[in-house]
Structure formats: C-alpha cells, structure tokens
Structure 1
Amino acid sequence: MQSDSDVDAALDRTYEALLTGDLVALGQLAGTLERMPAPQPLDRASAERLARKADRNGRMLLAAARGVRAAQGRLVEIAAEPALTTYDARGRRESVGQVSNLMPRRI
C-alpha cells in the first residue's frame, strides 16, 4: 500500500522540477507518479492536500507548455526574419539591418 506521504513528496519534487526546469527529473517523476497506486484510505484533509498539490502542478505544467510554445514561435519568427531585430528603450521591435546570407545562422 502506498503512503500518502510518498505521493505528497513526489508531488513536491515535481513542483520543484517544474520551477527549476529540470526536464530529466520531470520525466522520471512522471513515470513514478503514474506507477504509484493511490494511497488508501485517505482522510479528508490528506485527500484535499494531495488534490491541491496535483492541481498546482497541473497549472504549472500548462504554464510551462505555454512558455515552450511561445519560445518555439519566437524561434520560427527569428529564423524567418530577413533583418536583425532588436528592441528599443521602449520595448518596441526595431530592425537594425539586413542579415547577410553569407553569415552562418545560429539559434
């Protein structure tokens, strides 16, 4: 039988991995949590605590996925732009000049 403290600790480790961007740990923890049977029996306070932590982690995962999609979109924009783009003091994009096809591009 799985202890609710094991699930609690795994949820906390998952949260920390999300905060620090530790993708290796996230992959390992996902498998660990999926294989863990639900702790039985749970009192109401323990069940609510685990549900709050699982919900928190779910929101963090959604936010992380949005960030990854935004970064991917920005990389596509950068690769497609014919000019070097920077930002001015007010945060507006500004083209500096044409990028030569002779220079290697790095992302």
Structure 2
Amino acid sequence: MEVLPFKLPKSEKDALIYQEDTGVAFYEQLHQHEEMQISYIVKGLGTLIVGDNISVFNENDILVIGENLPHVFRTDYDLSTNAEMLTLFFTKTSFGKDFSTE
C-alpha cells in the first residue's frame, strides 16, 4: 500500500492545528505528515494501522502518533451513527526550542 505524503494547511504563525472529523468514516488513506498528533475518539471504532503495528480503536481512546509515521484509521461503518474524532497537530518546535529534548 502506498503512503501518501500529507501537508496540513497552516500558516507559519500557527503552532497548533485543531481538527474535528465527523462522518461515516475518518480519512482512510494511508498517509504521513511531519506533525505529531493527539487524537481523541469521541464516537466510532475500527482498526488503526501505524507503521507496522495494527490495533483497534474505540470510543474514548486517546491516540498519540509520532511525526512522519505512516498511519490510517479504518472505521467500522455503522450508517446509523457518525464517527467523531478530535485531533491536535503540532511539531517539535510548536512550543519553542526548549520543549523538545533534541
């Protein structure tokens, strides 16, 4: 499966990006981006692939995905309810040079 490079739309002044995903499914293309992400699953369940790891995600899970890691959320479809995920994206420099240990 090909990994799609993904560029999050943001200005150079933006330190953080907040995104709400609501629908039958989340973004279901294997992709990677330079930002780390913390995602909270409000509603929905499915399979999460990160790198070479496959696991299940459920409602109320908090997921942390590192920078440039290929990943995809494969939502189990239930047309009677929408899936919902809240995500915060950031880079190592988002909080200043002293935040990162590098």
Q: Which interval holds the TM-score relative to the shorter structure?
A: under 0.3
Q: Which has the higher helix share?
A: 1
Larger Rg over CA atoms: 1
The normalised TM-score by structure 1 is 0.27
User: Taking structure 2 as the reference length, what is the TM-score of the superposition?
Assistant: 0.28
